[in-house]
């Protein structure tokens, strides 16, 4: 007969088994993270030694760090939130054979520092009375982009924006570009980005606003506690891993993790609190230049429905969905990204030739 003593023994054994399984699982994942972080530095893509560095001053005193390499038609690369120009190292090497490739650290990222307006609240409050602006931070960064284009006297630019950089590119195209043949930007590439409802549950439209309020509250709480928005230890690696699709190179995950952790937590909080309110979708029809929209089928941060919504609203656009790719196409699928940009260059007018 099965006794109470037997029951307690079975329960203890089950608990011991569960504990052992958890310990083994932790050891396996910890070993994976340790192996990734101990990979030789040469495994990580780094900027070429021969890039040219610039510092562009903006109207509010910000200092925007810019790197460039190559000759030909300019391609300007805008990184996403918590990243930097270093994320484009592969493109600086490969695209510079055919283009003048330019990447900038957006204010508060990399070597760029904010000016007196920080992340744009004052400008937004003034300008939003006159036009439909996506968000304070994207408008301020679009103004920084304008300063870079003018400071380097760039024309006939193919403007490439990733994630937040895509939002800045849309903001510039809608509110600061003239959309005339002599405009400095003549083609647009939007990768892994969104035009509205950054915090969104598909099919539950009414939940978006409360979610954004909740995210804003969590960010401000983290800022007061001086917490980084991603955790420490192994969890930092796995949180960063969420940005990638199937079977990413561990060295690429570690590179991204290090770039993210280098951004000041307080600045991240201020940027994200503004960014979750971004909405410029109703203005996308005003973009007339040739546009390419790219997304990975496995992107969980800005899933493919965001890209489809953007492509549907920009008349002269083409949509590219890369199977198995996550949010970081510049690292995961640089050849596919380059192919898209080459095709965009061929189908967009070149006014300076």
Q: What is the CATH number of the domain that holds 250?
A: 3.40.50.1820
Residue 2 lies in a domain: no
95-109, 204-218, 268-282 — most confident range: 95-109
What is the value of pTM for the model shown?
A: 0.84
Tell me: pLDDT of 129 over 60.
Answer: no
Residue 222 lies in a domain: yes
Tell me: pLDDT of 233 over 90.
Answer: no
Residue 74 lies in a domain: yes
Q: How far apart are CA 265 and CA 261, in angstroms?
A: 8
Q: Report how far apart, in Å, the C-alpha atoms of 330 and of each of 28, 80, 339 are.
A: 29, 11, 12
Angle, alpha carbons 104-110-116 (nearest 5°) = 85
Residue 193 lies in a domain: yes
Q: What is the mean pLDDT of residues 119-124?
A: 66
Residue 36 lies in a domain: no
Output 22 or 299, whichever has higher pLDDT: 299
Residue 28 lies in a domain: no
**Cβ 273 vs Cβ 216: under 8 Å:** yes
Tell me which DSSP letter residue 106 carries.
P
Q: How far apart are CA 228 and CA 287, in angstroms?
A: 36
- pLDDT-derived band at 83 (thresholds 50, 70, 90) equals very high
Give the distance between the most distant pair of CA atoms in the chain. 92
Tell me: pLDDT of 342 over 70.
Answer: yes
- pLDDT-derived band at 130 (thresholds 50, 70, 90) equals low
**Cβ 327 vs Cβ 224: under 8 Å:** no
Residue 30 lies in a domain: no
The structure tokens listed for 283 are 């203005």
**Using one digit for the tens of pLDDT, what is the confidence trace for 35-81?**
666 767 778 899 999 999 999 999 999 999 999 999 999 999 999 99
Angle, alpha carbons 244-247-250 (nearest 5°) = 75
Q: How far apart are CA 137 and CA 274, in angstroms?
A: 6
**Using one digit for the tens of pLDDT, what is the confidence trace for 6-36?**
556 665 655 555 555 555 554 555 456 666 6
Dihedrals phi, psi of 104, to nearest 5 degrees = -125, 150
Tell me: pLDDT of 353 over 60.
Answer: no
Output 333 or 350, whichever has higher pLDDT: 333
Tell me: pLDDT of 158 over 70.
Answer: yes
Tell me: pLDDT of 197 over 90.
Answer: no
Q: What is the pLDDT of residue 205?
A: 45
Q: What is the pLDDT of residue 274?
A: 86
Dihedrals phi, psi of 69, to nearest 5 degrees = -160, 140
The domain tally of the chain equals 1
Residue 301 lies in a domain: yes
Tell me: pLDDT of 347 over 70.
Answer: yes
Q: How far apart are CA 79 and CA 102, in angstroms?
A: 11
Query: What is the chain's length?
Result: 353
- Using CA atoms of 58, 59, 61, 66 in order, give the dihedral in degrees to the nearest 10: 0
Q: What is the pLDDT of residue 204?
A: 41
Range of the domain at 312: 49-347
């Amino acid at each position: 007969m099965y006794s109470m003593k037997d029951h307690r023994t079975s329960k203890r054994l089950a608990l011991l088994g569960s504990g052992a399984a958890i310990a083994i699982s932790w050891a396996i994942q910890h070993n994976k993270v340790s192996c990734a972080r101990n990979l030789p530095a040469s495994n990580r893509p780094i900027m070429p030694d021969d890039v040219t560095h610039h510092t562009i001053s903006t109207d509010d005193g910000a200092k925007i760090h810019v790197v460039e390499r190559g000759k030909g038609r300019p391609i300007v690369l805008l990184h996403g939130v918590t990243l930097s120009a270093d994320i484009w190292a592969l493109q600086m090497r490969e695209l510079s054979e055919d283009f003048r490739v330019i990447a900038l650290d957006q204010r508060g990222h990399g070597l760029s520092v904010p000016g007196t307006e920080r992340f744009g609240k004052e400008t937004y409050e003034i300008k939003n009375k006159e036009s439909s602006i996506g968000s304070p931070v994207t408008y301020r960064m679009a103004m920084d982009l304008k300063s870079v284009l003018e400071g380097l006297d760039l024309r006939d630019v193919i403007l490439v924006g990733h994630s937040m950089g895509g939002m800045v590119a849309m903001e510039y195209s809608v509110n600061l570009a003239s959309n005339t043949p002599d405009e400095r930007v003549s083609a647009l590439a939007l990768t892994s980005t969104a035009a509205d409802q950054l915090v969104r549950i598909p099919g539950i439209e009414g939940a978006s606003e409360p979610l954004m309020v909740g995210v804003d509250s969590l960010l401000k709480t983290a800022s007061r506690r001086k917490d980084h928005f991603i955790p420490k230890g192994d969890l930092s690696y796995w949180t960063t891993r969420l940005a990638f699709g199937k079977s990413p190179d561990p060295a690429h995950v570690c590179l991204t993790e290090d770039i993210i952790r280098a951004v000041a937590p307080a600045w991240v909080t201020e940027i994200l609190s503004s960014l979750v309110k971004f909405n410029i979708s109703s203005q996308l029809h005003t973009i007339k230049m040739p546009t390419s929209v790219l997304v990975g089928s496995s992107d969980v941060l800005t899933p493919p429905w965001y890209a489809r919504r953007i492509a549907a609203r920009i008349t002269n656009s083409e949509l590219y969905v890369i199977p198995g790719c996550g949010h970081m196409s510049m690292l995961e699928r640089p050849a596919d990204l380059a192919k898209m940009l080459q095709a965009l260059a061929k189908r967009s007018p070149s006014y300076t030739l």
